[in-house]
């Protein structure tokens, strides 16, 4: 788990140069570089991740992955969406921000699980491209 966290921290550094609120297209471009180390880590460990995240895997490990993803989402929000007040956004938005966050995180985790289940089905660049669409 520590290797994953370290990769996320390194990848987050790519966002520190963003000095404005990026457009949707810029966010998609950032996805091309802001997950390089994370995806490399997942690729190097995809067989172990696949086993741990499979239906016969370790539910506690899955919950730890979701927690890490939630923490990373929170850490990246200011770079991508500015100084957003999440509680206020939940009240004002027709689709509460917490729903969007949950859908995004579950989609990313499920994408990694699917990739782990069929590790040779997609390249790292294809995974990046899909992640950029989410």
As a whole number of angstroms, the distance between CA 51 and CA 133 comes to 26
> What pLDDT is attached to residue 9?
93
Domain boundaries, the chain: 2-133
Which secondary structure element, helix H or strand E, spans residue 86, and what is its range?
helix 86-92
> What pLDDT is attached to residue 129?
77
pLDDT tens digits, 1-34: 899 999 999 999 888 888 878 787 887 777 778 8
pLDDT value at 35 more than 70? yes
**pTM of the model as a whole:** 0.79
Mean model confidence pLDDT for the chain: 83
93-119 mean pLDDT: 81
Q: How far is CA 47 from CA 51, 52, 62, in A?
A: 6, 9, 15
> What pLDDT is attached to residue 92?
63
As a whole number of angstroms, the distance between CA 108 and CA 74 comes to 15
């Amino acid at each position: 788990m520590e290797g994953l966290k370290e990769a996320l921290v390194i990848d987050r550094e790519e966002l520190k140069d963003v000095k404005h609120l990026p457009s949707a297209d810029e966010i998609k471009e950032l996805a091309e570089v802001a997950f390089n180390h994370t995806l490399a880590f997942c690729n190097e460990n995809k067989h172990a991740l696949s086993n741990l995240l499979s239906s016969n895997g370790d539910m506690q490990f899955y919950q730890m992955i979701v927690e890490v993803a939630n923490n990373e989402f929170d850490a990246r929000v200011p770079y991508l969406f500015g100084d957003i007040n999440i509680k206020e956004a939940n009240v004002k938005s027709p689709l509460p921000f917490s729903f969007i966050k949950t859908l995004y995180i579950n989609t990313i985790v499920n994408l990694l699980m699917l990739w782990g289940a069929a590790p040779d089905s997609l390249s790292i660049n294809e995974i990046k491209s899909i992640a950029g669409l989410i």
